[in-house]
Amino acid sequence: MQIDKIVKSISTVRGVMAIALGGSQSRGEADKQSDYDIGVYYDADILDITALAECLKELDDGHKDDLLNAPGQWGPWINGGAWITFNGMPVDILLRDIKRVEEVLQDCIEGKITVDYQSGHPFGFINTIYAAETHYCKPLWQDESALLSRLKALLYSKGEYSPLMREAVVRKFLWEAWFSLACGRKAAFKGDINYAIGSVFRAVCSWVEVLYALNNRYLMNEKGALKWVDGFKMKPIGMEVKVMNLYKLFVAEEAEKAYQILDELHSEIETLSSGI
């Protein structure tokens, strides 16, 4: 594999504890346009940032300077990394602080769910993304601590999908969907379509969070998530098509028809969630 050289090189950097394949490649959803996401799990107390930067420069086809965004530069959750091109292949290097990941996984399995603003995540960064990364990642290398194996064992300590996490996600985002629809409805009938569509987007993303949890599926992020819902056991029939039609109705200034469909979808998802 082309990524073997990447793994071999990065694994020599002091403080790097594990390397994993993530993203669409690890979930079996990749296509010809997909890049490679490489998770680099590190000990923040001893990570050699300079050595890691030099390593990435050497791996990059253009040997460019300043490729590495150090921890903190991409916000508190994305945590830093780099975009490199290796043998013509686009590769995203994503840094993960091991202590932070362990703390977040513990919160998730205990049903403590958070959402934070994060560039690149228009709905927000939900802490369960770390749980999804842990679930789907394919270990490429680990040091003697077997970090990734330990993280997976922690995540599954209450079952393959924590019942407390499932309940918390459903309750939190079902309310978020309802509130977003209520706020957007007022704006829509005042002609503020920009705000209304933004509120609908939040409602739809919240429904997606609920439906993934109801079906015991880990959700990586909002990108591309809606299209997989139709394959779930518990879901509204034809949800993706309905959502696409909703946006068209707003553009056509037919907000009343749009909200009829929105209300029906919310009612149906509420019913699916009634056992939680």
pLDDT of residue 36: 84
CATH code for position 28: 3.30.460.10
Query: Are 200 and 258 in the same domain?
Result: yes
Answer with the one of 138, 155, 172 that is the final residue of a domain.
Answer: 155
Answer with the one of 88, 121, 155 that is the final residue of a domain.
Answer: 155
Query: Are 192 and 249 in the same domain?
Result: yes
Show the domain range for 42: 3-155
Answer with the one of 155, 182, 203 that is the final residue of a domain.
Answer: 155
Confidence class for position 33, pLDDT limits 50, 70, 90 = low
Query: Are 151 and 169 in the same domain?
Result: no
Q: Tell me the residue ranges of DSSP E strands in the chain.
A: 16-22, 36-42, 81-86, 89-97, 115-116, 125-126, 138-142
pTM of the model: 0.93
Mean pLDDT of 10-19: 97
In the 8-state DSSP scheme, what is residue 227? G
| 113: Cβ contacts below 8 Å, ≥ 6 apart | 107, 126, 127, 128, 165, 168, 169, 172
**For 37-88, what is each residue's pLDDT tens digit?**
999 999 999 999 999 999 999 999 999 999 999 988 888 898 889 999 999 9
Query: Are 31 and 109 in the same domain?
Result: yes
Query: Are 113 and 85 in the same domain?
Result: yes
Residue with tokens 């927000």: 124
Query: Are 131 and 174 in the same domain?
Result: no
**For 211-257, what is each residue's pLDDT tens digit?**
999 999 999 999 999 999 999 999 999 999 999 999 999 989 999 99
* Contact (CB, 8 A) for 72 and 61: no
**For 128-161, what is each residue's pLDDT tens digit?**
999 999 999 999 999 999 999 999 999 999 999 9
Please name which of 114, 217, 240, 241 lies closest in space to residue 166, comparing C-alpha atoms: 217
Structural domain total, the chain: 2
